[in-house]
Amino acid sequence: MGADHDAYFDEVEARFENAHDLDLGLEEEFQVLDRETLALTGAFEVLRDSAPSRLRERIAGELLTSEIEISTPRTLHFGQAAKQLLLNRAELFAHADAQGYALGSTGTHPFSGWKDQQIVDTPHYRLVEERLKYVAWRNNTWAAHVHVGVRGCDRAVAVCDALRTYLPHLLALSANSPFIEDVWTRLHSVRTQTFVRMFPRCGIPDVFGTWAAHRSFYEELVDTNCIQEFTQIWWSVRPHHRFGTVEVRICDAQTEAWESLAISSLTVGLIAHLTRIYDEGLPLPILETRYVEENLWRAIRYGLDGKLVDWAMGEELPAADAVRHLVELAAPYADAIGLSPHLADVERMLRDGNGAQQQARAHVEGKSLLEVFAGTVADAHRSSVAPTVDTQGETR
């Protein structure tokens, strides 16, 4: 296996050594719904096979036949990625409309049962199901992922190590899944509880320190038949071997495009901040996993309604204030890499409430789970109308 590992990692390491700093790609996962009942329906193949070629090359399956993913091309400017995300949504929602389906965009579906869902019939997902069984069947969850280029193998690992500290903050901001299986869970991100707490090799990874340590662990997993390929490591942040990026996987799917772009802009700005710290030889804000996990639970349970611990100060902070601190770290990069005006929308989310807060509020006011969900579906559809976007990513 040694020679096989060497050939594999020669390619992976070349991708990171030749990566462009802060180039990025954005991925969003959507629920495929029956237009009348808003229940999940297994129509991924229908939507994929009937899509125009320019759209088909950007969509992919994600485990369930009732789920569809769409990604942006890689770009060096956040404004361009934002423009493409908006166009992705406009084209995908229009295509679903034409085929007679609706799309949902929350971290979980509030009432469709996991027993009624089917796994996408591909070799990759058949292997996932064979290996995980019940764990795979229960994974009715939808997320948003951000890929950011970080040049250099050790540099990418260092950024992943440090970004772990901020994953609970990003989750608290993005929490958008209070309901599942006809239950108001009182969690703000039951998606995270369902996925991260059930899947193996998931959640907050250990600190690796060097690329050599990361590589050694991967090789051990392959050699001991724990995994067959890199994508069977589902950490909430990871160096992505195929793309040469740092991939952030902690966030719930967002109902409206502007929310997704606000969270993504903060993520990119934080990575810009961490790469600068690394390059200047300053200490990175790396926490041991037990401290990150404590904040992660707080984010799952309470989201923006709760508090996160500032471990350096040894005190609790309102989650919204902790997120505002991250905005301050990202702000110096806003103009140079196109984060404006999306980074400013983080404050809008903090002020008006994120998806979990808004859904819970509507339910407390008397709306059924179906009525609350119908509102999110309508909001997602409304926000998908094709916008006019300038080259800096600003919506007109």
Q: What is the pLDDT of residues 31-40, one digit of tens each?
A: 999 999 999 9
Give the C-alpha separation, 53 to 76, whole Å: 24
Residue 236 corresponds to which amino acid? S
pTM for the full predicted model: 0.95
Residue 279: per-residue pLDDT: 97
N residues, the chain = 396
CA–CA separation, 78 and 340 (whole Å) = 9
What is the band of 286 on the pLDDT scale with cuts at 50, 70, 90?
Answer: very high
Q: Per-residue pLDDT tens for 68-124?
A: 999 999 999 999 999 999 999 999 999 999 999 999 999 999 999 999 999 998 888
pLDDT above 70 for 386: no
341-365 pLDDT per residue, tens: 999 999 999 999 999 999 999 999 9
pLDDT at 124: 85
pLDDT of residue 46: 97
The band of 249, judged by pLDDT with boundaries at 50, 70 and 90, is very high
- Give me the pLDDT at residue 56, please: 95
pLDDT tens profile 59-74: 999 899 999 999 999 9
Per-residue pLDDT, 122: 87
What value does the mean pLDDT of the chain take?
Answer: 95
pLDDT (0 to 100) of residue 392:
47
pLDDT, tens digit, 9 for 90 and up, residues 322-338:
999 999 999 999 999 99
109 neighbors 384 (Cβ within 8 angstroms): no
What the chain holds in terms of domains, given with CATH numbers, is 2-382 (3.30.590.20)
How far is Cα of residue 199 from the mean position of the Cα atoms in its chain?
16
Structure tokens at 27: 């991925």
* Per-residue pLDDT at 387: 52
H or E element, residue 125: helix 123-132
Q: Are 309 and 295 in contact (CB under 8 A)?
A: yes
Query: Are residues 164 and 286 in contact, defined by beta-carbon separation less than 8 angstroms?
Result: yes
Determine the residue type at 36.
E
Residues 353 and 357: their CA atoms lie apart, in Å, by 5
Per residue in 5-23, pLDDT (tens digit) is: 999 999 999 999 999 999 9
Radius of gyration of the CA atoms of the chain, in A: 20
Question: Cβ neighbours of residue 191 under 8 Å, at least 6 residues apart?
Answer: 107, 108, 141, 142, 143, 176, 177, 252, 253
3-state secondary structure of 243: coil
Half-sphere exposure of 114 (CA within 13 A, CB side): 16
Residue 1's pLDDT is what? 45
pLDDT at 390: 44
Reduce the DSSP state of residue 348 to 3 states and report it.
helix
State the DSSP code for 182. T
pLDDT at 3: 64
Sign of CA dihedral 104, 341, 239, 58: positive
